[in-house]
Amino acid sequence: MPPYTIVYFPVRGRCEYIRMLLADQGQTWKEDVVTRDRWMQGDLKASCLFGQLPKFTDGDVTLYQSNAILRHLARKHGLYGKNEMEATLLDMANDGVEDLRLKYVKLIYQNYEEGKEQYIKELPTQLKPFETLLSQNQGGKAFIVGDQISFVDYNLLDLLLIHQVLAPGCLDAFPLLSAYVARLTARPKLKAFLASPQHTDLPINGNGKQ
């Protein structure tokens, strides 16, 4: 029995970076898929701390908030940098990822038709900080921070992959980010996960927009 369970809607959404971390770290987990009908019954929502999914269980521990789940797993699996300074830089980078993810979610769920063109126009400005961060760490040849993979790498990789679907070619002007995506997605366990039906069969978002 795997110790981990992900309780979430049948989408990649805010769980795909958690799944990527688990898969790449050789962990197994159980999926408790919540259909729209089940969610609409209301009792599960009422039982969730913030009234939202994902919910994540690790043995007896129940967690909410995808970034907190990611950080919990990072602490458990040694993915939070080698020292305090690296952990601080990882927190900064993860907040940057979350800022752009929130903009993306707003576009997808609230403003897709009207906002997409402008969003894509402004995307280079949004992506540039990550190219800069990479360039400051071993010339961009390693991870987002330090010389070992961290929770932020999974979060950033997911963010970049979903933006490549929204705006194919959006990384073309960013050689370090492009190479970073190629490098990470070639990691054997991650590559296998990304090619598996567990990933490919799930829509990115809950409303069919991507």
Note the residues at the interface with ligand GTS (CB under 6 A): 9, 11, 13-14, 45, 52-54, 65-67, 206
Q: How far is the CB of 54 from ligand GTS (least distance, A)?
A: 6
Q: How far is the CB of 131 from ligand GTS (least distance, A)?
A: 25
In the complex, the smallest distance separating the C-beta of residue 188 from ligand GTS, rounded to whole angstroms, is: 28
Closest among 163, 154, 131 to 77, alpha carbons compared: 154
Write the DSSP string, 112-159: HHHHHHHHHHHHHHHHHHHHHHHHTTGGGTS-SSTTS--HHHHHHHHH
Work out how close the CB of 68 gets to ligand GTS at its nearest, in angstroms, rounded to a whole number.
Answer: 8
First-residue to last-residue Cα distance in the chain: 34
* Cα 135 to Cα 89, 177, 199, distances in angstroms: 14, 9, 30
Q: How far is the CB of 67 from ligand GTS (least distance, A)?
A: 6
Which one, 13 or 140, has the nearer CB to ligand GTS? 13
> Looking at beta carbons only, is 9 or 180 nearer to ligand GTS?
9
Dihedral over alpha carbons 190, 124, 11, 69 (to 10 degrees): 70
User: How far apart are the C-alpha atoms of 197 and 195, rounded to whole Å?
Assistant: 7
Task: Give the CB-nearest residue to ligand GTS.
Answer: 52
Q: Which residue, 137 or 155, has its beta carbon nearer to ligand GTS?
A: 155
For ligand GTS, the closer of residues 11 and 181 by Cβ is: 11
**Nearer of residues 66 and 150 to ligand GTS, judged by Cβ:** 66
